[in-house]
C-alpha cells in the first residue's frame, strides 16, 4: 500500500469517527431521533466536498461536521439545524443548488441553507455599502428563522478555533469582525458560553503575548483562589445539605479577555483585579417547587452565614434580561475578607444562560415570556432595517448599539414596564413609546420631577413624557439618544423635514421667477451653489426654505452671481469630494499618491517610514513595542493602529481586505506621546518628586494634571517616549516614589 493510499484511509477513518461522535451527541439530546436524514446530509456533503481541503490541509468535510457538532452539542439544536450545518457550504462551493437541497431535504432545511449561502461569502464584501447590505441580509434572515444566525455563529466559532493556519493580516480581519459583530450577536441571543469563547479567541489571536501573560498569572494564583472558595463554600454546603436541597456549587473564573478588559477600563494591573471568580449555585428543577422561591431560599441560607452587600443585588429572576438570562446575583463578604459574587439559578436557567433561546425548546410548554422578549428585539431590528441610515458604517454602528446593551426597566405613568438599554435618556424613552411622541417631545417628568430630554434613566424610574405640537426633531438630538431605535427614528424624521423644507425652498425660488424670462437651469443652480457655498441642490433649497438664504429682490441678479473657479478654493474642493461620494480627511487641492502597499506582505516600520506612506492617527497613539497593524487608505497611505484600538476594531471588521501586517524595526530618534496615570497618598513635594524622575530619565513632559482629594492624589501625565521600554522603565521608577500606590499606562 502506498503512502498516499494509507493517508486516504486514515483520513476516511477520521471523518467516520467525527461523524459518529456527532451522532452520539445527537442521541444524548431530547430531540426526535432523525438519524437517517442527518446521515443523508453527511453523505451528500462528503461527496460534494470530495478532494477539497482547508488551508490547514485537512479534508474540507471536517469543517461542516465540526460546525454540526457545535450546533448540536453546544447550542442544543435538532436535526434540521444539524443538516443545514452539514450542508452550509455545499451550495456556495459546489455544483449543487438550493433547489437540489429542497428536493432532497425539504423546504425548511433548504431555506436555512439558502440564508447561510447569502451571507457566507464573508460578512463583509469589498466595499462599505456591500458590507452593510450583507449585514442587513443577515439580520433579515434572523427575523425569518433564528436558526440561520445560530448556525452562522457555530460556523464562525469553528473558524476561530482553527485560525492558526491563516496569515496574520487575515487573522486580524477575522478576529476583528468576530469581536465587532459575532460576539455581540451571540451575547444578544443568550449564547453566553459561545460569546465568551469568541471574545477569548479573538483576543488570543490578536494579542498572543498579553493573553499568555494573563493566563500564566491566572494559573499561578489559582491555588489561592481555590482556598478562598473552599473556606466560603464549606458552611454553605453543610447548611444546604441539611435542608435537603438538590444542587451543584462551583467557582467559575473570569475569562482572560474580561480580566484584560477590566484592567484597561480601571487602569490597574492584574494584581488589583479582585473579582476574578464568582460562585455559581445551580439547583435541580423539582416538581412542585417554584424556581423563584427556591432562588430566594438559597439567598436566605447564604445571607444567614455571610454579610450581604445590599447595593450589589441583581434580581434577573423576577424580570429576565431580554436575551432570556435569568439568575439571582448577590455579593457577600467572605470569611477571608474578600467580596464574593454568587449567582443562583435553576438547571433550566443555567441551560438558557449557556445555550440561549435554543434551550427554551427543551423546556417549552406553549409560548413563554423569554420568546416574547426575543420577538420584541427582532421587531426592533426590523424597524431599523425599514429605514436604515444612508451611510453604511453608521448603519453598522446603529445596529451595534442594540447588540451589546445591558437593560434597565422603567415604568409609564400607568405602570406599564418598558425595557431600555442601560444609559437610555428620557428622549430614548419617548421614542420607545412611539415615534410621534418622540418627534414632539419637549421634556419629561421622572418620578414626578421635571427633567430635560438628556436625563439618563435608572431602573425603577416612572417616566411621563411632555409633548408639544409645535416641537420638531432637531439634529442635536442625535447627541442625546443612546438607543438604535431612537437614533434611526430621529434620522428618518430629519430627512423627512429636510425634504419638506427643500420642497418649500424650491417653490419659493420658482415663485420668485414668475413673470420673468429667467429659467432655472443646471448652470444657474451651479452658480448659486458656488456663491452661497452649498454642496448640493437639496441643501441650497433647504437654506432658501428656512430663510437662511434671502433671494435678491431683483431675481435677475442671480444671472450675474460670480461663479468661482471650480478648481480653486476649499469649498469647491469639498463640493467636488462630496459629489463623488467620497469622504476626505485632508482639505487640499491635490491628493498625494504613494507607492502601492501589498496587503499580503509584512512591513517593517523604520526611522523613515513616517516620511513615506505611514501615518499615525490620534485615536490610539501606538508606540514602538506595541502590537500594531496597518489600514491601507485609498491613496495607499497606511494608518498605524494599536491592536486594541476601538477605531481599529471597526476597520478590521469592515475593511478586512485593506488590513496589512506591521512590525516595528529599529526606532531611536522620533519621539512618540504616551499617557500614564498615577495615584497614591498625597504629601508635600510629591509633584516635584514625580517630575524629577521623569526628567532624570531624559524624557520630556507634554502635559500634566494632578488632583488631590482628602489626602489622596490622582494624576495624568503625557510624556514623549521612544518605545515601550522607555515607558515601562518610567512607570517602575515612579512606582518606587514614597506614597505612590499605582502607576499605569493609559490608552489615549
CATH number at residue 736: 3.30.70.260
pLDDT of 215 reads: 93
With a cut of 80, say whether residue 378 has pLDDT above it.
Answer: no
Q: Provide CB contacts within 8 A for 188, sequence distance 6+.
A: 323, 377, 402, 403, 404
Residue 77's domain comprises 3-161
Domain with residue 254: its CATH number is 3.30.460.10
For the record, the C-alpha cell of 408 comes out as 434597565
pLDDT of 396 reads: 55
Phi/psi of residue 129, nearest 5 degrees:
-65, -35
With a cut of 80, say whether residue 322 has pLDDT above it.
Answer: no
Domain assignment of residue 605, yes or no? no
With a cut of 70, say whether residue 185 has pLDDT above it.
Answer: yes
How many structural domains is the chain composed of?
A: 5
The DSSP code sequence of 414-473 is T--EEEEETT-BHHHHHHHH-HHHHHTEEEEEETTEEE-TTPBP-TT-BEEEEE-TT---
With a cut of 80, say whether residue 587 has pLDDT above it.
Answer: no
Residue 413 sits in the same domain as residue 525 = no
Residue 527 sits in the same domain as residue 485 = no
Report the pLDDT averaged over residues 39-56: 88
DSSP state letter for 562: P
Q: In which band, very low, low, confident or very high, does the pLDDT at 230 lie, cut at 50, 70 and 90?
A: very high
Of 491, 509, 544, the residue that ends a domain is: 491
Residue 510 sits in the same domain as residue 469 = no
Q: In this structure, what is the dihedral angle of CA atoms 682, 685, 687, 690, given to the nearest 10 degrees?
A: -100
Residue 480 sits in the same domain as residue 398 = yes
The residue length of the chain stands at 748
pLDDT of 376 reads: 59
Question: pLDDT digits over 129-183, tens only?
Answer: 444 555 665 666 555 567 788 888 899 999 999 888 788 888 888 888 788 778 8
Domain assignment of residue 315, yes or no? yes
Domain assignment of residue 206, yes or no? no
Domain assignment of residue 295, yes or no? yes
For the record, the C-alpha cell of 720 comes out as 514623549
User: Treating both helix axes as pointing N-terminal to C-terminal, what angle do 35-48 and 79-86 enclose, rounded to 10 degrees?
Assistant: 10
Among residues 12, 16, 47, 92, the one annotated as catalytic is 92
Question: pLDDT digits over 438-461, tens only?
Answer: 999 988 898 888 888 889 998 778
Residue 473 sits in the same domain as residue 406 = yes
Q: In which band, very low, low, confident or very high, does the pLDDT at 698 lie, cut at 50, 70 and 90?
A: confident
Question: Is position 394 annotated as part of the catalytic site?
Answer: no
Domain with residue 470: its CATH number is 3.10.20.30
Among residues 18, 25, 58, 93, the one annotated as catalytic is 93
Residue 472 sits in the same domain as residue 450 = yes
Domain with residue 96: its CATH number is 1.10.3210.10
Report the pLDDT averaged over residues 104-111: 88
Number of H helices, E strands in the chain: 29, 20
Residue 223 sits in the same domain as residue 358 = yes
Residue 439 sits in the same domain as residue 514 = no
With a cut of 80, say whether residue 615 has pLDDT above it.
Answer: yes
pLDDT of 566 reads: 42
Cα separation, 167 vs 171, in Å, equals: 6
Domain assignment of residue 193, yes or no? no
Residue 407 sits in the same domain as residue 271 = no
CA terminus-to-terminus distance, the chain: 63
With a cut of 60, say whether residue 580 has pLDDT above it.
Answer: no
pLDDT of 596 reads: 72
| Residue of 374 and 586 predicted with greater confidence | 374
Q: In which band, very low, low, confident or very high, does the pLDDT at 747 lie, cut at 50, 70 and 90?
A: low
Q: In which band, very low, low, confident or very high, does the pLDDT at 379 lie, cut at 50, 70 and 90?
A: low
Of 123, 144, 161, the residue that ends a domain is: 161
Cα separation, 720 vs 700, in Å, equals: 5
Residues 240, 248 contacting (CB under 8 angstroms): no
Domain assignment of residue 716, yes or no? yes
Residue 92 sits in the same domain as residue 227 = no
Residue 33 sits in the same domain as residue 154 = yes
Report the pLDDT averaged over residues 330-340: 89
With a cut of 80, say whether residue 68 has pLDDT above it.
Answer: yes
For the record, the C-alpha cell of 6 comes out as 494509507
With a cut of 80, say whether residue 270 has pLDDT above it.
Answer: yes
Domain assignment of residue 689, yes or no? yes
Where would I find the beta strands (DSSP E) of 549-692?
602-605, 614-615, 628-632, 638-642, 659-664, 672-681
Q: Provide CB contacts within 8 A for 358, sequence distance 6+.
A: 75, 76, 77, 150
For the record, the C-alpha cell of 676 comes out as 500614564
Domain assignment of residue 727, yes or no? yes
Q: In which band, very low, low, confident or very high, does the pLDDT at 238 lie, cut at 50, 70 and 90?
A: very high
Of 579, 596, 619, the residue that ends a domain is: 579
For the record, the C-alpha cell of 733 comes out as 521608577
Q: In this structure, what is the dihedral angle of CA atoms 577, 580, 584, 586, given to the nearest 10 degrees?
A: -40
pLDDT of 570 reads: 33
Cα separation, 445 vs 451, in Å, equals: 6
pLDDT of 571 reads: 35
pLDDT of 108 reads: 87
| Segment 302-307 long-range contacts (CB within 8 Å, at least 24 positions apart) | 302/236, 302/330, 302/332, 302/342, 303/330, 303/332, 304/239, 305/235, 305/236, 305/239, 306/232, 306/332, 306/333, 306/334, 306/335, 306/340, 307/332, 307/333
| C-alpha atoms less than 13 angstroms from C-alpha of 358 in its C-beta half-sphere | 30
Question: Is position 93 annotated as part of the catalytic site?
Answer: yes
Give the lowest-confidence range in 112-126, 197-211, 385-399: 385-399
The DSSP code sequence of 635-650 is TS-EEEEETT-HHHHH
Task: Tell me the β-bridge partners of 679.
Answer: 714, 742
In a 3-state reduction of DSSP, which class is residue 714? strand
Cα separation, 99 vs 315, in Å, equals: 49
Q: How far is CA 63 from the centre of its chain?
A: 26
Residue 10 sits in the same domain as residue 139 = yes
DSSP state letter for 589: S
For the record, the C-alpha cell of 136 comes out as 442587513
Cα separation, 234 vs 413, in Å, equals: 47
pLDDT of 129 reads: 43
Q: In which band, very low, low, confident or very high, does the pLDDT at 235 lie, cut at 50, 70 and 90?
A: very high
With a cut of 50, say whether residue 581 has pLDDT above it.
Answer: no
Amino acid at each position: 500500500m502506498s503512502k498516499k493510499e494509507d493517508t486516504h484511509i486514515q483520513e476516511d477513518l477520521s471523518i467516520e469517527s467525527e461523524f459518529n461522535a456527532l451522532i452520539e451527541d445527537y442521541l444524548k439530546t431530547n430531540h426526535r431521533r432523525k438519524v437517517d436524514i442527518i446521515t443523508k446530509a453527511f453523505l451528500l456533503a462528503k461527496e460534494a466536498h470530495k478532494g477539497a481541503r482547508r488551508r490547514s490541509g485537512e479534508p474540507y468535510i471536517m469543517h461542516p461536521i465540526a460546525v454540526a457538532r457545535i450546533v448540536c452539542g453546544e447550542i442544543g439544536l435538532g436535526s434540521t439545524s444539524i443538516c443545514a450545518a452539514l450542508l452550509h457550504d455545499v451550495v456556495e462551493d459546489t455544483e449543487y443548488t438550493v433547489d437540489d437541497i429542497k428536493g432532497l431535504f425539504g423546504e425548511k432545511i433548504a431555506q436555512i441553507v439558502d440564508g447561510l449561502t447569502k451571507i457566507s461569502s464573508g460578512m463583509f464584501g469589498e466595499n462599505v455599502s456591500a458590507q452593510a447590505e450583507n449585514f442587513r441580509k443577515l439580520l433579515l434572515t434572523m427575523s425569518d428563522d433564528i436558526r440561520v444566525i445560530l448556525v452562522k455563529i457555530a460556523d464562525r466559532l469553528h473558524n476561530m478555533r482553527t485560525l492558526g493556519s491563516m496569515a496574520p493580516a487575515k487573522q486580524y480581519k477575522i478576529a476583528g469582525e468576530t469581536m465587532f459583530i459575532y460576539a455581540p450577536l451571540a451575547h444578544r441571543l443568550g449564547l453566553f458560553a459561545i460569546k465568551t469563547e469568541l471574545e477569548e479567541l479573538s483576543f488570543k489571536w490578536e494579542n498572543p503575548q498579553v493573553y499568555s501573560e494573563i493566563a500564566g498569572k491566572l494559573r499561578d494564583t489559582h491555588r489561592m483562589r481555590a482556598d478562598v472558595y473552599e473556606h466560603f463554600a464549606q458552611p454553605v454546603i453543610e447548611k444546604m445539605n441539611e435542608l435537603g436541597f438538590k444542587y451543584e456549587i462551583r467557582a467559575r473564573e473570569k475569562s482572560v479577555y474580561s480580566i484584560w478588559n477590566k484592567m484597561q477600563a480601571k487602569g490597574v494591573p492584574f494584581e488589583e483585579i479582585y473579582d476574578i471568580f464568582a460562585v455559581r449555585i445551580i439547583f435541580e428543577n423539582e416538581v412542585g417547587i417554584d424556581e423563584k422561591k427556591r432562588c430566594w431560599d438559597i439567598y436566605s441560607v447564604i445571607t444567614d452565614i455571610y454579610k450581604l452587600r445590599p447595593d450589589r443585588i441583581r434580581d434577573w429572576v423576577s424580570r429576565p434580561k431580554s436575551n432570556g438570562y435569568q439568575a439571582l446575583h448577590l455579593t457577600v463578604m467572605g470569611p477571608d475578607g474578600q467580596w464574593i459574587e454568587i449567582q443562583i439559578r435553576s438547571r433550566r436557567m443555567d441551560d438558557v444562560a449557556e445555550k440561549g433561546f435554543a434551550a427554551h425548546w427543551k423546556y417549552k410548554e406553549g409560548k413563554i415570556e423569554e420568546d416574547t422578549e426575543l420577538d420584541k428585539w427582532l421587531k426592533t431590528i426590523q424597524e431599523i432595517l425599514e429605514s436604515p441610515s444612508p451611510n453604511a458604517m453608521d448603519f453598522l454602528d446603529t445596529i451595534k448599539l442594540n447588540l451589546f446593551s445591558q437593560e434597565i426597566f422603567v415604568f409609564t405613568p400607568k405602570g406599564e414596564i418598558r425595557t431600555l438599554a442601560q444609559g437610555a435618556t428620557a428622549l430614548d424613552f419617548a421614542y420607545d413609546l412611539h415615534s410621534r411622541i418622540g418627534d414632539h417631545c419637549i421634556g419629561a417628568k421622572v418620578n414626578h420631577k421635571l427633567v430635560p430630554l438628556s436625563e439618563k434613566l435608572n431602573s425603577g424610574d416612572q417616566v411621563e413624557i411632555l409633548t408639544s405640537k409645535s416641537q420638531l426633531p432637531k439634529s442635536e438630538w442625535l447627541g442625546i439618544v443612546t438607543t438604535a431605535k431612537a437614533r434611526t427614528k430621529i434620522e428618518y424624521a430629519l430627512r423627512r423635514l429636510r425634504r419638506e423644507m427643500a420642497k418649500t425652498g424650491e417653490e419659493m425660488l420658482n415663485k420668485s421667477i414668475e413673470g420673468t424670462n429667467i429659467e432655472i437651469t443646471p448652470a444657474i443652480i451651479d452658480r448659486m451653489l458656488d456663491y452661497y457655498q452649498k454642496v448640493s441642490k437639496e441643501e441650497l433649497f433647504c437654506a432658501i426654505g428656512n430663510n437662511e438664504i434671502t433671494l435678491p429682490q431683483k431675481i435677475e441678479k442671480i444671472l450675474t452671481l460670480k461663479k468661482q473657479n471650480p478648481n480653486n478654493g476649499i469649498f469647491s474642493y469639498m463640493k467636488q469630494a462630496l459629489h463623488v461620494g467620497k469622504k476626505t480627511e485632508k482639505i487640499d487641492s491635490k491628493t498625494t499618491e504613494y507607492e502601492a502597499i501589498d496587503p499580503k506582505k509584512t512591513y517593517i516600520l523604520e526611522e523613515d517610514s513616517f516620511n513615506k506612506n505611514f501615518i499615525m492617527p490620534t485615536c490610539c497613539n501606538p508606540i514602538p513595542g506595541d502590537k500594531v497593524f496597518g489600514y491601507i487608505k485609498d491613496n495607499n497611505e497606511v494608518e498605524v493602529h494599536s491592536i486594541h484600538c476601538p477605531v481599529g476594531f471597526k476597520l478590521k471588521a469592515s475593511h478586512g481586505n485593506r488590513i496589512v501586517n506591521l512590525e516595528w524595526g529599529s526606532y531611536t530618534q522620533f519621539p512618540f506621546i504616551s499617557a500614564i496615570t498615577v495615584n497614591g497618598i498625597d504629601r508635600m513635594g510629591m509633584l516635584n518628586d514625580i517630575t524629577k524622575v521623569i526628567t532624570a530619565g531624559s524624557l520630556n513632559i507634554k502635559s500634566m494634571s494632578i488632583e488631590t482629594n482628602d489626602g489622596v492624589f490622582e494624576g495624568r501625565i503625557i510624556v514623549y517616549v521612544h518605545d515601550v521600554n522607555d515607558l515601562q522603565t518610567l512607570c517602575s521608577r515612579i512606582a518606587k516614589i514614597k506614597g505612590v500606590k499605582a502607576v499605569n499606562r493609559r490608552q489615549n
